[in-house]
Structure formats: C-alpha cells, structure tokens
Amino acid sequence: MAIDKMEQSLRPPQLELKSFPSKIITLASGEEMIVREAKREEVGVILGTIQPLMGVQKDFYDIVASRMYAEVLGWYEYRVANEFVLVGVIKGEIAGIVNSRLADGKTGMSFHTMTIKRGLRIGAQLFAAKMEHHIDILGNDEVHIVAESPIGFKRWMIEYALEDRSDQYPLLRHELGGVPTFTLTRELWDRVKADKCTGFRPVPPEKLATALKLKMPSEYPQIPGFKRG
Amino acid sequence: MREVSIVGIGHTVFGNLSDFDLVDVMGFASGNALDDAGIREEREIIEQVFVANMGGGILNHQTGIASSLVSRMDMEPAMAELIENGPASGASAVKMGYMAIASGMVDVVMVTGGELMRTVTGWEGTDFVASLLHPEAEYNYGLTLPAYGGMFTRMYMERYGLTERDLGLVAVKDHQNGEKNPYAHVRVPCTIDAIHDNENAHVINNYIAEPLRMYGMCPVSDGAASLILCANDSPKMKYFTKEKPILISGIGSATDTHCVHNRKDPLILDAVRLAAERAYAMAELKPADISFAELHDAFVILELAISEEIGFFPRGKAAEAVRNGVTAIDGAKPVNTSGGLKSKGHPVGATGVSQVFELVKQLREQGEEGRQVKNPKHGMAVNFGGFGNNVVAIICSKGEE
C-alpha cells in the first residue's frame, strides 16, 4: 500500500528488532504452550482475544485489556515505535499475550502481560519470555516495569526482587504513567533466569504448525458463560 | 452425652474473594448452609453461633466477627463466640458446637469458618501465619510454616527414603480431585511429567522451601464454609427434613509442645495420633473402619505423615500407598477427596469446617462425577494447627440406612 506523506509523518522512526525465536513449554497440566512472536497481520485475532476482557473489573483485567488493546492497535497502525508482541498458544488458541517496546537500543519499556487461561503460571512464563527477548535477544541492558494490579506486583516486583527506581522520578518515568517504576537489570536477569525462564528450542515443526494460525479463546474463566458471537 | 448430627452444609468457592469483606464471605457460606438445611426462614431456631477465624484482626482489621455475622444474617439474639485456634480453628469450632449441644445447653448450632488472606502480599500472609510459632524461640529466628514444612520433609526423606517424585504424586492425586470440586481454588490438573519428570519442571514447579516445591504447597486462599448442627433427640429435628442427618460420631483433639525442637522426635506427631485415638475411641471405630479422610495437607508431606499417624499406614509407608493408588478416589482408602488444602485451598479459619463439609457431602453421596467415594460409611477429618501443636480429629458417620 502506498504511504502518503502525511501518514509517513505520523509514523515514528523504528529500530530494527531481532525476532523472538519460538519455544515450547510443558505446563503443569501437561499441556504444551508455544511462545512465539505475533505478526502484524495477526492483530485482528489478538484484538478479538483482548476485547472481551475490557469489561472485566476483577483483578484489573479492564485496565490491562484496554491499555493492551490500544498498544497493540498502535503497533498495527505504526503509532508506537519498536513494539513487539508475544503470544502463548495452546492447541492453536491464544492463552496469554505480552507486549513491550524498546525506548532505545539499550532500554526496554515493558507494557502489559495478560493471562487468559489461569492457574498454570502462563503469565509468569510469558513475562519471563518477554524479559528474555529484551535482554538476551535484543541486547537491552535494562527493562523498566510497572504493575497495574496486585497480581502483577506480586509476580514481578516481589518474585523478581526488581530494583525500585521510584526515587528517580521524574527523571525516570515509565511510559504507562506515574506508578512507581521498577527495573530489571541484566545482572538481576542473569541471576534469576534459570529459575524463571524455561522452554525448548527449536519447536518441532509439527508442533509449531499448530500455533501458526492463531485462534481466539473459546472460553474465558474471567467471564463465566462467555460465548463468542 | 446427646448425639449430634450435621443437618445443613454451606460453602463458598475458595480463591480470591477480595472484592468482599470477611463477614460477607462468611455470610455467603452461612446462607448456603441455612438453605441446605431448609431453615432460612426459620433461622431463629439457631441458638448458638460459633465462628472460626484466625486473622480477621490482623489481615482485615476486623474484630467482633461472630456478633457481626449474626447481625449480618439477621439472627439476633443467638449467642455468638469467635473460636481462634490457629489453622485448626475450624475443627475446634465444630468441636465447640458439638459440646454445646451434647452438654444439653442448646439444641441447634451454626458453625461458620472463614478467612480472607489475599488482601495482603504472600510475604505478609506467610508472616501472619508464622505468628503462631513461639515468638522468641522460633519466630524471631525467621522460621515460617513453609520452612518447617521443608525441614520436616527433608528429615522424612532421609529417614524413609521418600522422593520428590512421591511428593509430586500426592499433588497429582489431590489436583485430580480438586479439578472436579466446584469449590476448589486451583481447579487445574497437573501431571507428574510436567511437575517432576520433565526438564522444564524446575521452573514450572519451582522450590518454595526446599525440598518442597510449589506443587507441594497449598495456595493462599479466601473462603468460608458453614455447618448446621442439631441434637438427634431435639424436637427441633423436625425442621430438618431436606437431607439425611450425618452423625458426628467421634471428636478428639490434643496438643503438643509449642516449639517443635522440644519434641523427642520431630517426625512423631503426637497430637495427631492422640486426637485420632480419642476420636476413634469415642466413635468405637478403628482406622480400618474409616472409608475416606480429609487430611490437613498444607504441605503435601503432611498428608503422608498424618495418614501414618492416624493408623492408615505403617510409618514411612504412606508414599507407597500413594504410588499404588490406595489413596486415590477409587482406591481402598481415598484421602483428600475434596482436593485437600493443596488444590481446594486453605483459608485457615475455614479449613476445618470445609473438611467436615466434605465428609458430609461424601457421606450423603453428593460428590461430583468422578469425585464420589463408593459406599462410604465413616469419614475422618484431621485439622492440624500450628506445626502439629494443636490438632482436632472429627469422624462423621452415615448411620443406619
């Protein structure tokens, strides 16, 4: 599609990002989750996955879903620079989504982590994959992180013992707003990743094939009785 | 003493209920019990309410909970008291309810246990539970209940050859049951491959208090359970026609040293054994007579150790029983048919009441498909307070057909 001058002027400059190599994780239930990078043309199914959760107040799904929806749409429409989206896929269905962006070549800005299928620490694994991508693959030195729910605070700030950088406000401000900014440094990541991050590569082709065509979840534990129209 | 039966049961889902306040949650379970007993409109017949809760004052900044519940349920002027006995508060409250009726003081009692624990971080929750330890000899040295669970497990492994895989098998069995329990907190199955055998397992099932891993620990839960008790010889028994009453046939409790290091052998849980022996004696039953049991597996090692201490298996042999499927739902001695604390969850004040709820449900043969013990006659619950320093055992019986 031809991009006119006005549209061109609206788009931010982009860094060239290495792609995330897909991996496969066996969850506690025995199910296999493939974690892979989402493609721009898959935005429709990702937004369709997020949208029903925008009305779920419990556990702050509403704010996380609404913001993630806007961020993913912004990525699709070239309004956010250097963003990437990873999806966790079980039997072809999206089980969780994480997104993030690079502020510059050395600094990551973690956006959101959303778990659809719960009780299997899918969010924890996807968050770890996001950090792995930032630090091990994209070569960032540190990633800034905020939490918008108690679950996030327990999972990231406490379990990772992230560095509290809130004393650097307003010099350091996470892009998601004024909530205290915490940081995962390369040193901290190297210390914790063996206990936090897992998965095998390469994903066997026949298993990867099951995750290539993304499907929206058929049910949401957060929305009892949900039926996709 | 008068015979006492359970004539109504209620339960909330266990999990994250932090949208509600503590008394709301207790009220939901109590309402369910009144409905189950068929006396919501006649609830003035309840003369006494016992409320089990361990941490309302600390976790929820709420005291006077028993009177608050009575008021919330519009049950004044029923007598009401709070029972706090650590994680055994629930079964202690059932015991108090039993005693109040058996003594002849009252005819009908409601026992409700509840806890809201997810309003604080995991660290604060762990610290709260650790407040039951000896303040100077244990707590001040940084001991926590998970730490005790880990040390107990290591010692047991060294003495009896228990493996981490065996511990995983207990979790797998509990989750198989919990998956089918609509009230359970963690209703997802787990496989031994994923939580132990697989190369991913060290991350998926990470250490919490080595050698105990995440799947060796109960979750931190909110929730409540409630029971209605009535004297068998009371004229008020006429109100309870909806369900067959389930007899409380035996109750025993015992204490042990506050500090674990003061015991001759930390692996010997004297209070568990004595509580069970007292319950067996009162019920005139033996371990072999018990059809199934709910055992306090805050850490999966406790399911094994308690099952040995109450005479189900010889010392050091419970893991073999698990390996052979003896404690599975279709085994000869099903244990933790509800999913146990491991899968169902452990809102501490609710747990003992919830265990008895499960006994009644099984004895009424109302378990969900795949979660019903075949032809149960007697069920036993063991509610474990402290690190075994205050234990309550309760036996319920179906009675004559």
What local confidence, expressed as pLDDT, does residue B61 receive?
Answer: 95
Return the beta strands (E) in B86-171 as ranges: 108-115
Domain enclosing residue A131, as ranges: 21-210
Nearest CA-CA distance, residue B185 and chain A, Å: 9
Residue pair B290/B379 in contact (Cβ under 8 Å)? The answer is yes
Q: What is the 3-state secondary structure (H, E, C) of B313-331?
A: CCCCCHHHHHHCCCCCCCC
Mutate to test the interface with A, among B169, B203, B217 (most CBs of A within 10 A): B203
Total domains in chain A come to 1
Residue B392 identity: V
Tokens of A75: 């990525």
How distant, in Å, are the alpha carbons of A65, A149, B16, B19 from that of A59?
11, 6, 9, 9
CATH number, residue A100: 3.40.630.30
For residue A195, is it within any domain? yes
CB contact under 8 A, B188 and A59: no
Please tell me whether residue B249 adopts helix, strand or coil conformation: strand
| Residue of A23, A24, A25, A26 to mutate when probing chain B, most B C-beta within 10 A | A26
> Quick check: A66 and A50 in contact, CB under 8 A?
no
Nearest Cα residue to A37 out of A17, A61, A11, A63: A17
Whether residue B140 lies within 8 A of chain A, CB to CB, comes out as no
Domain residue ranges of chain B, discontinuous segments joined by +: 4-120+220-239
User: Pairing between strand A107-115 and A93-104?
Assistant: antiparallel
ipTM over 0.85: no
- Residues in chain A within 8 Å Cβ distance of B187: 119
| Yes or no: domain B4-120+220-239 corresponds to CATH 3.40.47.10 | yes
Distance from CA of B222 to the nearest CA of A (A): 15
- A225 in a structural domain: no
Question: B133-186 pLDDT, tens per residue?
Answer: 999 999 999 999 999 999 999 999 999 999 999 999 999 999 999 999 999 999
DSSP for B336-365, written as a single string: -TT-HHHHH---HHHHHHHHHHHHHHHHTT
A72: part of which helix (H) or strand (E)? helix A61-76
First-residue to last-residue Cα distance in chain B: 23
The torsion region of residue B60 among left (phi > 0), alpha (psi -120 to 50) and beta comes to alpha
* A228 token code pair: 């996709």
Nearest to A28 among B19, B199, B205 (CB): B205
Strand partners of residue B5: B230, B247
pLDDT score for B389 = 96
Task: Beginning with the edge strand found earlier in the chain, give each strand of the sheet holding B79-83 in spatial order.
Answer: B79-83, B48-52, B108-115, B223-231, B4-11, B246-255, B390-397, B378-385, B292-295
**B206 near A CB under 8 A:** yes
- Asked if B200's CB is within 8 angstroms of A198's CB, the reply is yes
- Per-residue pLDDT tens over the stretch A1-23: 678 899 999 999 999 999 999 99
Chain B residue numbers with beta carbons less than 8 Å from the beta carbon of A153 are: 121
The answer to whether the Cβ–Cβ distance between A59 and B16 falls below 8 Å is yes
Query: Are B108 and B34 in contact, with CB atoms under 8 Å apart?
Result: no
Residues near A92 by Cβ (< 8 Å), separated by ≥ 6?
A: A210, A211, A213, A214, A215
Cα dihedral across residues A102, A103, A105, A107: positive or negative: negative
Distance CA B179, CA B174 (A): 9
Record: contact B190-A199, CB cut-off 8 A: no
Chain B residues touching residue A196 (CB < 8 angstroms) = 203
Question: Which of B17, B204, B206, B214 to probe the A interface (max A CBs under 10 A)?
Answer: B204
B126 CB within 8 Å of a chain A CB: no
Residue to test with chain A: of B181, B200, B205, B208, most A Cβ within 10 A: B200
Chain B residues close to A61, C-beta within 8 Å: none
Collapse the DSSP code of A38 into the 3-class scheme (helix H, G, I; strand E, B; otherwise coil) and give the result: coil
User: Which uninterrupted H or E stretch holds A74?
Assistant: helix A61-76
Quote the minimal CA–CA distance from A158 to chain B in Å: 9
* Residues lower than pLDDT 70 in chain B: 400-401
CA dihedral B179, B181, B183, B189 (to 10 degrees): -10
pLDDT digit string (tens) for A153-181? 888 888 899 999 999 988 899 999 867 89
- C-beta atoms of A26 and B187 within 8 A: no
Considering only residues 167 to 186 of chain B, which have any Cβ-Cβ distance to chain A shorter than 8 Å? 186
pLDDT digits (tens, 9 = 90+) for A62-101: 999 999 999 999 999 999 999 999 999 999 999 999 999 9
Instruction: Evaluate whether residue A106 is within a structural domain.
Output: yes
Q: Cα distance from A4 to chain B (closest Cα, Å)?
A: 49
Residues in A closer than 8 angstroms to B194, CB to CB, are 26-30
Give A104-133 pLDDT, tens digit per residue. 999 999 999 999 998 899 999 999 999 999
Q: Which residues of B touch A59 (CB under 8 A)?
A: 16
Order of strands across the sheet with A83-90?
A: A23-26, A32-37, A83-90, A93-104, A107-115, A142-145, A182-185, A163-164
Q: What chain A residue is nearest to B195 in terms of C-alpha separation?
A: A28
Task: Note whether B166 and B305 are within 8 A (CB).
Answer: no
Q: Is B179 helix (H, G, I), strand (E, B) or coil?
A: helix
Task: Output the CA torsion B198→B202→B203→B205 (10° steps).
Answer: 90
Residue of chain A whose Cα is closest to the Cα of B19 = A58
Residues in A closer than 8 angstroms to B199, CB to CB, are 200
Judged by CB atoms closer than 8 Å, whether chains meet at B187 and A119 is answered as yes
